[in-house]
Structure 1
Amino acid sequence: MQKSSNTSIRKLEITEAALKAEELLDKHSNKTVLVDLIQTVSISVLMKTVLKLSKSSPDSLVMLFAHLQQSGKVLFACQVPKGSAGGSAIEWALHVCARLEGNADGSNEFAKGVGKATKVSDVTEVLHWAEEFAHNKIRNAS
């Protein structure tokens, strides 16, 4: 019964991630750096959405955030294409963590983390900062 329940949850998460990814692709088509905020309370949905976006836009650097306003937590996940001039996903995530007083783990291609932000304006500022950080990495590598 537990296995069946877990399978159902995973299917729902995959469906939710696909819908969110489709919306974001419409909004951000052909961007080199895609940074945005989505509505979810699940790090799993956030990660699956990042993976779907990265598959649809394989040359883009992708970082998504979810703000859990009641707890003040901010979830985020990112993916950087292998060999990208944008550096590594873990480097990007750790720099975001420094702004959010949080922690992150991952690899050169994929990372995730959690931090703190009490106000939506704090999250908006971090989104702009994360996007600018990635653009600067790309510019400095050129």
Structure 2
Amino acid sequence: MIQVGDRLPTVTLRRMGNEGIEAVTTDDFFGGRRVALIGVPGAFTPSCSAQHLPGYVEQADALKAKGVDEVACVAVNDPFVMAEWAKAKGADGKVTLLSDGNGDFAEATGLAFDGSGIGLGTRLKRFAMVVDDGRVSSLRVEDDPAAVEVTAAEKLMADL
């Protein structure tokens, strides 16, 4: 599993742009700036929708006031689902939602878990990290994918 001090692996994520689906590499997205990144098991899932993403939407300005250039959320969902989730949770303009639809980021970072027992396939563990110019400077990972304790926005702010 990726650790504090490690460089994020180079993978391609997707997001919805004005012209449709846009590919963005981790090198380009995280390079030269400070990003608060959360990973969630899935868009529209209970803990992710009720607690995790909303906490970061509410605290986006406070995170930016502490030196974060962008707040982002990644999940193993397609970019269409991520775009609709952003609208539903009021994340547009506050938290950038990134699609890891094929699970490449999940696998490359070692943050994948097997949710196939309940029909989810490969998913991301719930995490929160600060990435400085492509390098992980803070990392929090939940043991229980339903829990939002060590990865809550307030906890990550304490790391800044």
What TM-score do you get using the length of structure 1 for normalisation? 0.30
Q: Does 1 or 2 have the higher relative contact order (CA < 8 Å, sep 6+)?
A: 2
By percentage of residues, which structure has more helix? 1
The alignment's TM-score, normalised by the length of structure 2, stands at 0.28
In our comparison, the structure showing a higher alpha carbon Rg is 1
